Amino acid sequence: MSKQHLRFLPSIDVLVQTKTARRFSDRLDREWLVQCARDAVADLRKRLTDNGLILADEAEALQWSEKLLQQQIERLLQPSLHRVINATGIILHTGLGRAVLPPSAIEQAWRIASGYSNLEIDLETARRGDRTKHVERLLCLLTGAEAACVVNNNAAAVLIALNTLANRKQVLISRGELIEIGGSFRIPDVMAKSGAKMVEVGTTNKTHLKDFAGAITEKTAGILHVHTSNYRILGFTAAAPLEELVALARKHNLFVLHDLGGGILIDLRKFGLPYEPVVRESIELGVDVVTFSGDKVLGGPQSGILVGKKEAIQKIKKNPLMRAVRCDKMTYALLEGTLRLFLDEKSLLKNHPVLRMMTEPVESVRARARSVMDALVASNLHVQVEMTESEAQAGSGTLPLERLPSVAIAVRPKQGSVQPVAKRLRLADPGVMGYIRNHKLFLDMRTVQDEELPTLIQLLRTHLPTS
């Protein structure tokens, strides 16, 4: 393209005087309007020079500039975080924020967010307090631990525990547990940043107690045992039992740190799900510190929880790193509200969204799918739609081999590709996230909430092809 078209670009002063700019003048200070105008003109310049856009005259250039200005302003004023209807069938979807929080926890957080709170004030003495106290007693009751503390995620929990207990000292770990947590965060990297010196023992598929015993030296501080929650090694395998690791550690005055990842507070077999290690079991075996996530099966906010022996937890609390990885009042409010649900097991499935979705009978999921299916058929949309059996997942490394029976709505346009349809739904308000397979858009109903059904149906009627 000839650069002569660049002469049609409007000045910033002209653009901020347009009707588009004036329409937003009561919502944005002039300096931000000017910045948006600059960004709009820069965008148009790029379209002219790189994308082959051709302008006829200055009037067309101004029209383009106003359009781009409006986009820049709306992008600035509209929240980046949007509500999304999760129709992927992945209950703990990391990209979609993992756990759906319990309503009672949300109410608690709202009360705290709307005013001041006693986050670090002891109201009885009017002196400075410990923010951990708001959840420590609950965590100790639910896990059997002597003490507990909370940081901003489980990687931080492992990091600060190792830094506290083994800085510049050796920590033994099985080669079969050098896992990648997700988002390229790997156990060896976390250990390196903690200051601990990783010593690998055993092999990928087999590690025996004698491998640990043979690697202990005067420089060894402890043993890190990582639950491989996001995958399984099957076949010719062996691993040293946790109780034997604890006994070996006691013999040599070492600590044992158990990274559980998911953090199960109640035996899932009670609800017809496969066994996953329960935090209390590790505590009862004598583990010094157990770490796990607050936003996986526990069903609370993003957080990393450390429970264990009082001496170890107190040292971790005093680590200067705690200031860098501590949680705010919102996290404590949400976590406290979530933990209290586990005090009443008989109503847990009713009030805990994550466990409810994991255990809901497939007949209930099918009923939701049928209501969506009937609504779409009655709308005479230009799509092929069917109800089909599907498989949902817990997600976020929880129950990696388990597939939960589910039901999905499969949508395929009668003409054209399904990709544009999926994109329109993703960009809707709220967005709708499904998955594409065999040129069809699947909407899994296990992760769609009952109260979301009217909105989902309306969005499908609005954004699916009608002709």
Per-residue pLDDT in tens (0 to 9) along the chain, 467 residues: 446 678 889 999 999 999 999 999 999 999 999 999 999 999 999 998 887 788 889 999 999 999 999 999 999 999 999 999 999 999 999 999 999 999 999 999 999 999 999 999 999 999 999 999 999 999 999 999 999 999 999 999 999 999 999 999 999 999 989 887 766 678 999 999 999 999 999 988 899 999 999 999 999 999 999 997 666 666 677 889 999 999 999 999 999 999 998 889 999 999 999 999 999 999 999 999 999 999 999 999 999 999 999 999 999 999 999 999 999 999 999 999 999 999 999 999 999 999 999 999 999 999 999 999 999 999 989 999 999 999 999 998 788 778 999 999 999 999 999 999 999 999 999 999 999 999 999 999 999 999 999 999 999 999 999 87
Q: Three-state SS for 92?
A: coil
Residue 324's DSSP bridge partners are: none
- Residues 6 or more apart from 19 whose CB is under 8 A from it? 66
The pLDDT value recorded for residue 3 is: 63
Q: Which residues of 323-346 are buried (b: 16+ CB within 10 A; e: fewer)?
A: eebbbebebbbbbbbbbbbbeeee
What is residue 365's predicted lDDT score, i.e. its pLDDT? 98
pLDDT at 234: 65
Q: 3-state DSSP call for residue 255?
A: strand
Instruction: State how far the alpha carbon of 369 is from the alpha carbons of 305, 364, 387, 456, in Å.
Output: 37, 9, 7, 11
Strands 127-128 and 185-186: unpaired
**d(C-alpha 297, C-alpha 263), whole Å:** 7
pLDDT at 182: 64
Half-sphere exposure of 127 (CA within 13 A, CB side): 2
pLDDT the model gives residue 1: 45
- Predicted local distance difference test score (pLDDT) of residue 4: 66
Q: What angle do CA 215, 218, 221 make, to 5 degrees?
A: 75
User: Mapping DSSP to helix (H, G, I), strand (E, B) and coil, where does residue 338 land?
Assistant: helix
- Cβ atoms 348, 187 nearer than 8 A: no
Query: How far apart are the C-alpha atoms of 167 and 210, rounded to whole Å?
Result: 25
Residues 412, 437, 390, CA angle at the centre, nearest 5°? 95
**With the C-alpha atoms ordered 49, 50, 54, 60, is the resulting torsion angle positive or negative?**
negative
Q: Map out the domains of the chain with their CATH numbers.
A: 3-77 (no CATH), 84-93+358-463 (3.90.1150.180), 103-349 (3.40.640.10)
- Which tokens sit at 335? 């976590």
Alpha-helical (H) ranges within 269-361 are: 279-284, 310-318, 321-325, 329-339, 348-351, 353-359
- pTM to 2 decimal places: 0.91
